A and B are shown apart, each in its own frame.
Chain A
């Protein structure tokens, strides 16, 4: 599938924002979140900024961005519509939470739960957009939702760790929780890659042309395309570039996205005398590069059944 940069930026940026809101909400509910004007204000601006930038970016790939509001209407059947609604609805508890947390002495426990549930719900609806697409085996499987539900909070938690250290507002156990989330994220992605490497979709060129089931032994070889130049279907669904370097890019995603940031945060824990920002800022930046690479691969490696008509033997 063609990796549209606007959608990659949306899922990684908004993913980190919603992930940060979910971690904040849970901490607030447990009563472990300290109050400090500049820390609270900056954290909320960054979380909502990541979300807003991502949402605006996601409208860039639309043919008619000015009609984007119509996307809220078909929540009965469309996961994209549900995602749009959840994404916008999360602003309500998030803004209320932010106001109470920053300015009022009242409890944020209830708003924290509501905000965390909405943020995780948004990540779930995003994942379901891909999970529900049957023609794309790399997406239509049980590993996609766990990946999105872990990677959002993981990236959000690591950036929250940086902010808490920057403002000297330590959040209890956040460093070890970042390590747990990085390990969970790597495990989820590892399981995903193992699955997509060892399986393929149920269709074949024979089933695509109606000549027999994939196991029928009927061979269908494409000898002439309907057109001499790439058409929309091939450009959108037949993306090739990344597959050539997929293994190398996966290695980059694994080391930059999970392993090295984990080691850096662990080093910061083990060396309490040094300023943790020396380790955690590069860890967060490297993680973001790794996760963008991971997301790019999520699109670029995905194969669509339509390519069976253009000579692909598996999809």
Chain B
């Protein structure tokens, strides 16, 4: 049903650190790698090796030049890498606009999913998402989206430490964190509180579960760490002194 649950048991989601993300695209790659054979498989690619390549991806990393933000410090601007994927909103209108009931938000953990067998491919959900999180699979004729790796996080065939979304598991700078954002005592909730985590486009009223940590404020100058001054070698004593005296004759 496309009616939203009044509350969800958990609010599973991601916390993404824009201060430490280096834009390496590893999360994008591992997302594609896992999900092209996962719950929403396949993530179809068309003309993958030619001109006009097109395909379904759940995660896209943009790069921006940011100016006028405290994260820039004394510099005029800074570079910021920005991963963009489904935010598993509390008020996901991508779900409520769905005419068939294919889109739904799980009451147990808040994950927003698509039932591909019910999807008629009308694309209205992708219009209703302010964040561009949903991508249509023209080959399969159905809408696809991030599953928060629902087939990893509960997967008892995986080692417990691997039961996190593929993007989180693979991030080399630990810029991505996964957990229950509905629990104020969870690690991710504490991280959001300590770093001042924010919603994307809060004015849209979708109440995203995923939070972003803005770039931290920079110090204006690097701290001073001078090297010791260079002094001439001691030529008064020792072997070096004898050699010096010998050659000075």
Q: Give residues in A with beta carbon < 8 Å to B.
A: 1, 61-65, 67-68, 70-74, 76-81, 84, 129, 132-136, 202-203, 205, 207-213, 216-233, 236-237, 304-306, 309-310
Known: A224-B62, A232-B136. A306 touches B131 (CB 8 A): yes
- Bound-state Cα–Cα, A237 to B142, Å: 17
* CB-CB contacts below 8 Å: B54-82 with A: 54-57, 60-69, 71, 77, 79-80, 82
Once A134-B93, A135-B129, A233-B135 are accepted as A-B contacts, the answer to whether A218 and B62 lie under 8 Å apart by CB is no
- CB-CB under 8 A from B97, the residues of chain A are 77-80, 129, 132-133
A-B contact pairs, 25 of them (CB 8 A): A61-B122, A61-B123, A63-B140, A64-B121, A67-B119, A73-B100, A73-B101, A74-B1, A76-B1, A77-B3, A79-B97, A134-B93, A134-B130, A134-B204, A134-B205, A207-B203, A208-B200, A216-B68, A222-B63, A226-B60, A226-B84, A227-B60, A232-B126, A309-B131, A309-B132
Interface: B53 (CB within 8 A): yes
Instruction: Count residues of B near A (Cβ-Cβ below 8 Å).
Output: 72
Which residues of B line the A interface, CB within 8 A? 1-4, 18, 23, 25, 28, 51-57, 60-69, 71, 77, 79-80, 82, 84, 93, 95-102, 118-124, 126-132, 135-138, 140-143, 198-205, 212, 214
How far is the CB of B208 from the nearest CB of chain A, in Å?
9
Contacts of A203 in B (CB 8 A): 130, 201, 203-204
* Given A62-B121, A63-B119, A224-B63: A236 and B136 interface contact (C-beta under 8 Å): yes
Q: Give the distance to chain B from A109, nearest Cβ to Cβ, in Å.
A: 34
Identify which of A68, A78, A134, A219 gathers the most chain B CB atoms within 10 Å of its CB: A78
Question: Least Cβ distance of A147 to chain B in Å?
Answer: 18
Q: Are B54 and A232 in contact (CB under 8 A)?
A: yes
The reply to whether B128 and A64 form a contact with Cβ atoms under 8 Å apart is no
On chain B, the residues within 8 Å of A211 by CB distance are 66, 69, 71, 214
Contacts of A225 in B (CB 8 A): 62
Give me the 4 closest cross-chain CB pairs, A-B, nearest first. A63-B121, A63-B141, A306-B132, A226-B60
- Measured between beta carbons, the chain A residues less than 8 angstroms from B202 are 207
A222 contact set on B, CB distance < 8 A: 62-64
**Shortest Cβ distance from A84 into chain B, in angstroms?**
6
In the bound assembly, the distance between CA atoms of A225 and B23 in angstroms comes to: 11
Query: Which of B57, B62, B99 is most buried by chain A, counting CB atoms within 10 A of its CB?
Result: B99
A78, A134, A205, A233: the one contacting B2 at CB < 8 Å is A78
Bound-state Cα–Cα, A81 to B102, Å: 12
Q: Quick one: closest A residue to B123, CB to CB?
A: A236
- In the complex, which residues of chain A have a beta carbon less than 8 angstroms from the beta carbon of B137? 63
Q: How many A-B residue pairs have CB under 8 A?
A: 208
Most buried by A among B61, B82, B198: B82
A133 near B57: Cβ-Cβ < 8 Å: no
**In angstroms, how far is the closest chain B Cβ from the Cβ of A217?**
5
Nearest CB of B to A4, in Å = 9
CB distance from A229 to the nearest CB of B (A): 5
Please name all residues of chain A whose beta carbon is closer than 8 Å to the beta carbon of B130 when the two chains form the complex.
134-135, 203, 304-306
**In the docked arrangement, what's the CA distance between A134 and B64, Å?**
25
A135 touching B120 in the complex, CB below 8 Å, given contacts A211-B214, A221-B65: no
Bound-state CA distance A227–B28 (Å) is 11
Alpha-carbon separation in the docked complex, A16 to B66 (Å): 49
Of B62, B66, B80, B199, the residue contacting A309 (CB under 8 A) is: B62
Question: With A and B bound together, what is the CA distance between A207 and B130 in angstroms?
Answer: 12
A71 to B28, CA, bound (A): 33
Chain A proximity of B128: nearest CB distance (Å): 6
Let me know if B212 and A84 touch, CB within 8 A: no
Q: Could you tell me the distance in whole angstroms from the C-beta of B216 to the nearest C-beta in chain A? A: 12
Q: Is the CB of A237 within 8 A of B132?
A: yes
Cβ of B40 to closest chain A Cβ, rounded Å: 14
